[in-house]
Copies of this chain bind each other. A is one copy, B any other.
Amino acid sequence: MSKIKVPRRPRAETPKGFRDYFGAEVTARNAMLARIAAVYHRYGFDPLETSAVETVEALGKFLPDVDRPNEGVFAWQEDDQDWLALRYDLTAPLARVAAQYRNDLPSPYRRYAMGPVWRNEKPGPGRFRQFYQCDADTVGASTVAADAEICAMLADVFEELGLGGDYVVRINNRKVLNGVMEAAGVLDPADPSRFEHERGIVLRAIDKLDRLGEDGVRALLGEGRKDESGDFTKGAGLPASSADVVLAFTAARRDTGMETCARLRELVGGSVIGAEGVAELEEMERLLLAQGYGPDRIVIDPSVVRGLGYYTGPVFEAELTFEILDEKGRKRQFGSVAGGGRYDDLVKRFTGQAVPATGVSIGVDRLLAALHAKGRVEAGAQGPVVVTVMDRARMAEYQAMVGELRRAGIRAEVYLGNPKNFGNQLKYADKRGAPVAVIQGSDEAARGVVQVKDLVLGAKIAENATLEEWKERPAQVEVARADLIATVQAMLQGDA
């Protein structure tokens, strides 16, 4: 017999690693996404909304013959034995869509997607298991004009959000790195699988440039590196001259894009793939300059290494350049808010056919945090005008007042709690961020008047009671009932 459980009350808790968004948090994010969508739309990108749930098979990161394929994703087995999972990004569903509807979609297919994704990872401070992504991709265009377009669109997004002058989109190219690898002797075009291990070490090493500095990376490119704790990491075993080439690649940025490309051309030497990569960067530079995107906004920068291991051609990263204070009060640049690049085997695993694709993903939460830091979030939803209830029997008249206010486009509500304690009503108005309260007791009703209380002004006066400037403006006025709307409107304008 099974054990009898003592019933207990369920806990009212968000699951670990998940969070709720209230009021202005929701509207600020939606307003930002709407502005981004408007830019995407202008560029001819169409929205796509896939479902949150995909088959594990289509997501493709996991094998259905593993007992529980939920490493990194939230997955569960259906009664019919299929495994389903919550999408972990917006690219995997795009790959599935591009394959599933390949005969119906326009080609090239420009699409954007905005929505939550889920990661079954250990939650931490600021790390959530559900978060928003905002992606734009072009599927089926092999020309780097598509990559340049994505970069230009990203720049336009920042301008649209009021971040002009505070961002830079940096571009690099995986093929140039391959050329550099070839020049450094760790890539043999005739036998691509040779030196694969060494190339992995090189990729991971240059990815650590920020953290380890040039000397640390040089050690990892050579024999290896001993860290402060004494642990030794074996290196790629490159001779010093080869390490020089790799490091010169990351430091190849010059004053203009064309100069940078000239330097890169030197570094890739005779590599065919390297020359192709440099030509791609030159073409992007040419297209972007022709559209007026100078190096203050979009710049070729070979020190961009993030994503070089993943993407197959151009790689882009957008950084916000203004400074914020970190947890320890030190100034630092806000940093990366978006990244992307070209990945040319998007649908191959479904169809066997290679389809070129390029795109970008914006970190929605980080970008929203940046807008907050710069004061660029649209004024939060203002609290409603609160019509208080002095006399419960006259609720219909109070409702008529809020009805009139709403029809005048003013956010308004009547107090719907227990009206007995009037102090509670004013506390409620305060909690709601109400700019104005309307009061009408039976005495005022008999005289055909209402009291209109400017709560914003009232708060300012309370802060500094001696301030001369408030003398002219009373925080509470009695006006004819017929003047209610005009009076509230004037107060809201005065507060604005």
Contacts and interface: CB of A to CB of B under 8 A. Distances in A.
A50 B25 CA distance: 12
Nearest to A416: B141
Contacts of A44: 384, 386, 411-413, 432
Interface stretch (A12-20, A216-224, A271-279, A359-367): A12-20
Interface stretch (A69-77, A311-319, A451-459, A470-478): A69-77
A149 B413 CA distance: 9
Given A26-B47, A412-B42, A399 B13 contact: no
Interface in A80-110: 82, 84, 86, 95-97, 99-101, 106-108, 110
Contacts of A49: 20-21, 25-26
Contacts of A412: 42-44
B65 A5 contact: yes
Contacts of A399: 145, 148-149, 287, 290-291
Interface residues of A, number: 102
Contact of A116 (B9, B27, B52, B101): B52
A9 B352 contact: yes
B46 A23 contact: yes
Contacts of A25: 49
B42 A411 contact: yes
A350 interface: yes
A450 to B, nearest CB: 16
Contacts of A27: 47
A353 to B, nearest CB: 11
A270 B124 CA distance: 61
Give the top 8 A-B pairs by smallest Cβ distance, nearest first.
A44-B413, A12-B99, A290-B396, A44-B384, A141-B416, A76-B76, A26-B47, A18-B51
